Structure 1
Amino acid sequence: MGKDYEDFQALEADDGDCTPRGTAFPPQQFAWQRLCAPPRPLCALLALCLGLTVGTIALAVSGSRLGAEQRGTQGVLGSVNQSLSTELVGLARSMHTLEDKLTHVAASLDETKEKSIQAQQRLEEQVGVLRDSLNSLNCDLIELKSNGSRPGCCPRAWERFGRGCYWFSTEQKTWEESNLYCQAQDSHLVIINTREEQLYVQRRTVPLYTWIGLTDKSGQWRWVDGSLYTMDSRSWREGQPDEYHGHGLGGGEDCIHLHDDGLWNDEHCSRLYRWVCEEELKA
């Protein structure tokens, strides 16, 4: 009886123990659990591969979107560049057209200015001719009233400028011969004292070589009336006077003439040039 009780207790103890024993079946596992079962490094590698794959796909999708956006941006920029290029070409053409017009306008202005200067010169010449004619008529009237004298008037065929009378030759003589001719007319070779007188004589002589009353035969530059000349480079040609000795005529260059541009040049006195006589206006 006692043994039976012990056996019964052992049986109850066995019935209360739920732990599988012996050949009992293992617990059921899912596929991913079996895949990630030990060894663990393989599981980590697979997870890394899976993560890289997903990341690559995400980057590819993102890159595709960026590429599409970039292509769209490039298209817009290309369109803008083409539009700007077209506008620049049009602007360049407009600038070229404007430059042509400005050049034409400038040329027209220069031509107009030149014509205006020429017209002014012709007008001044005509006014001068009329003034001379009026003075001549007035002097003729004075001569008639005074029985042959012409007070305040220039001799016939002479021109009046300021307070002087001037005669311009049509022949050619040496400087000495020209000076003697003027002395025979109770005058002298022209003495230029002012800039206005210089311009007046220039207008009447250019482009002809013309003697004036200046010489340095005495070793100093003097006018024919004996007065000393003060050097003014504005009246002279560049590099003059140079006292040139290479002309083969002997000596230097002691006499002054107006060159073809109206400026002064020293020359050998034996040259044959035209000349200008001057006398003071008689009261």
Structure 2
Amino acid sequence: MTELDEVKKENQQLHEQNVQVHNMTQEKEILKIEHDKVKNTNQELQKEKKILTEQIQTMEKTWNEQNVSRAQWSVDEYCPKENKRKCSPCQKGWLLSQSSCYSFNNAEPPNQKTWEEAREICRGKISDLTVVGDEEEKKFVKDKSWVNKNITGYWIGLRAEGGKWRWIDGSDLTNQAWIQQQPAVDGQCVTSLRNREWRSESCDENNAWLCEKKALSV
């Protein structure tokens, strides 16, 4: 009986050891699965980091070409955290059209500005009053120049200089039909508004305004 008891005891110990080995094997498999998941997650994060780094480098290159320091812009404005750091050509609040970003500042009285004041605000945003280059851009600007009873126009970067309509980049207005042959009298600037053509107004009037900047390559 003693020998039988010893055999039973050994069998019980062997069984317990087998159970422990089985449990350890299961734990090992679980750990391997978890390790693989962590590894895959890390690889995805590395890919996202690489893409984001490349996008930021491209953005920095664009800003450097425009002589703008990094301190003047925020990555969060172009690559918002809530959008999983997916970068956009325009910062939040700006609209993309062709290769430019636009900010329609639909200010109402008493927050509207003169032409010069509006331009200074645009410059503070590393932009300038918009310069329209073709019919497609003109239509975009007009369609987005929203109308309400307190807004009679949006300043754009066109004003009279020396008897000519001239853009802020120094070029002359080539399509006079855009201003309906209104005479270029010094001290006059131009506004855009949906459902009407451009209008000449005193640059000292207060209006809403439209800023434009180059879109980033992302």
In the alignment, what sits opposite 2:96? 160
1:155 Cα deviation after fit: 1.3
Higher strand proportion, which one? 2
Matches of 2:170 and 2:93, distance apart in 1: 27
How far apart are the structure 1 equivalents of 2:193 and 2:126? 26
Per-residue deviation, 1:264: 1.2
Match of 2:183 among 232, 241, 244: 241
Matches within 5 A, 1:235-274: 235-237=178-180, 240-241=182-183, 243=185, 253-259=187-193, 261-274=195-208
1:228 aligns with 2:164: no
1:279 aligns with 2:186: no
Higher relative contact order (CA 8 A, sep 6+): 2
Q: How many residues align?
A: 133
Structure 2-normalised TM-score? Answer: 0.53
Unaligned runs of 5+ in 2: 1-47, 57-74, 79-86
User: 1:206 Cα shift?
Assistant: 4.2
Q: Which of 154, 175, 179 is the equivalent residue of 2:119?
A: 179
Query: How many percent of aligned residue pairs carry the same amino acid?
Result: 29
Q: When the two structures are superposed, what TM-score results if normalisation uses the length of structure 1?
A: 0.42
Amino acid at match of 2:169: D
Identify the structure with the greater helix proportion: 1
Q: Does 1:201 align with 2:135?
A: no
Answer with 1 or 2: which has the greater Rg.
1
| Structure 1 unaligned spans of 5+ | 1-140, 244-251
Post-superposition shift, 1:220? 2.9
Matched AA of 2:140: Y
Q: Which residue of structure 2 aligns with residue 213 of structure 1? A: 157
2:95·2:101 contact (CA, 8 Å) conserved in 1? yes
By how many angstroms is 1:258 displaced?
1.7
Q: What SS does structure 1 have at the residue aligned with 2:101?
A: strand
String of CA shifts for 1:230-266, please: whole Å, max 9, x gaps.
Answer: 1331x234x62374xxxxxxxx652111256331121
Supply the AA of the counterpart residue of 1:202.
Answer: K
Distance 1:253 1:260 in 2: 24
Q: Is the 8 A contact 2:106 2:208 kept in 1?
A: yes
> What SS does the corresponding residue of 1:196 show, helix, strand or coil?
helix
Partner deviation per Cα, 1:143-202 (whole Å, 9 max, x = no partner): x93373747611111010111100000221100001111111111101111111111111
Letter in structure 2 aligned against 1:272: N
Q: C-alpha separation between the residues in 2 aligned to 1:160 and 1:193?
A: 15
